[in-house]
Amino acid sequence: MTLAEVVPSASDVITDSQRADYEANGYLCLPGFVGSDWLDELRSVTADFVEASRAETASGKVFDLEPTHTAEAPRLRRLISPVDQHPTYARFTFEGPPAQLAAALLGGPVRYHHSKLNFKWSDGGEEVKWHQDIQFWPHTDFTPLTIGVYLEDVDDDMSPMGVLPGSHLGQLYDLYASDGAWAGAMGDADIAGLDLEKMVYLDGPAGSVTVHNCCMVHGSLPNHSPRPRPLLLQTYSAIESYPIGHIGANGVTGANGGRICGGEASQRLTIGGRTMHGAPDWSRKGPPTIFGSQQNDDTGG
């Protein structure tokens, strides 16, 4: 089943007012957007992964563990690339509510980039310092957005994600430390220039969805509540937006990175106001030579 078959119209997913709010403010919070059937399935699969993490003693390709993680008391920071770990996550991300919402916001089929499940464990789950996303994985435009799904109820005590409305239209900050090392977070001087009183913290019941643009300043404080705060995240861009290779995380998004949800790749992109129809994606089988292409000889290597 394709996304077009599941969602025939963007108006079935969000209102014109909600789309306008996203464009103006750079974020949305939609309480209860994901239904109970999906939630039950996602929670069940997630519980199985938490159980499996008991056998792990260090972070690896599947789990990012807190230093105090033990078999008796699991403490997960992240399940890495859920879509590559279980078909339920893949189906949800490529055909389910997040893909439908991304398509409604971006006006058509979308390009998947990556996914993750951040747990922010109870009693001290680690903070996520103020940052923007686009510096981690630059694209050819600023359409990328990340859609998060709360798998459990999230209240103020659990340190929900905070966003600074309108910041997606402003400065792109340097996320390197003063010594030149990658920090992945804004520096103190830049943070001092923010009006943190305007931060909006996005809480909501299980099934609530958050959306934030790739240029949005956002983060979250440590979770000192007795409850974990699992947040399933998936990032999409417009179909004509492409990740720029050899910078940041763009080379390590897995086999599904670049997958189109709800359509087919057009190979069209616009850079500097000029549109081109790019060559086919040869990443799987290798490119032909220019001679083979021009002479209609597909055997060229």
* Three-state SS sequence of 114-162: EEEEECCCCCCECCEEEECCCCCCCECCCCCEEEEEECCCECHHHCCCE
Does residue 171 sit in the same domain as residue 281? no
Cβ contacts of residue 132 below 8 Å, gap of 6+? Answer: 167, 172, 173, 175, 186, 214, 215, 216, 217, 218
Q: Are residues 37 and 175 in the same domain?
A: yes
CATH of the domain at 64: 2.60.120.620
Torsion angle (degrees, nearest 10) of CA 269, 273, 274, 277: 10
Give ∠ CA 118-187-24 in degrees, rounded to 5. 65
Cα–Cα distance measured from residue 223 to residue 247, given in angstroms and rounded to the nearest whole number: 31
Regarding whether 198 and 49 lie in a shared domain, the answer is: yes
243 and 290 belong to one structural domain: no
Examine the domain organization and report whether 289 and 259 are in the same domain: no
Residues 65, 136, single domain; the answer is: yes
Measure Cα distances from 212 to 50, 83, 175, 234, 251 in Å. Answer: 27, 20, 18, 11, 22
Q: pTM of this prediction? A: 0.91
Same domain, 27 and 48: yes
What string of DSSP letters covers 5-37?
Answer: HH-S-GGGT--HHHHHHHHHHSEEEETT-S-HH
Domain count, the chain: 2
Smallest Cα–Cα separation from 64: which of 73, 51, 76? 76
277 and 257 in one domain?
Answer: no
pLDDT for the residue 290 = 66
| Structural domain harbouring 49 | 3-266
Verify that 244 and 297 share a domain, yes or no: no
Helices (H), the chain: 3-6, 16-25, 36-52, 87-95, 97-106, 188-192, 290-294
Nearest to 287 by CA among 276, 298, 278: 298
Task: Please check whether residues 154 and 74 belong to one and the same domain.
Answer: yes
pLDDT of residue 4: 45
Helix (H) or strand (E) holding 261: strand 260-261
- Looking at the fold, whether 195 and 286 belong to one and the same domain comes out as no
Considering the domain architecture, whether residues 115 and 217 belong to the same structural domain is answered as yes
Predicted pLDDT at 292:
65
Q: What is the pLDDT of residue 252?
A: 87
Residue ranges of the chain with pLDDT lower than 70? Answer: 1-8, 290-292, 297-301
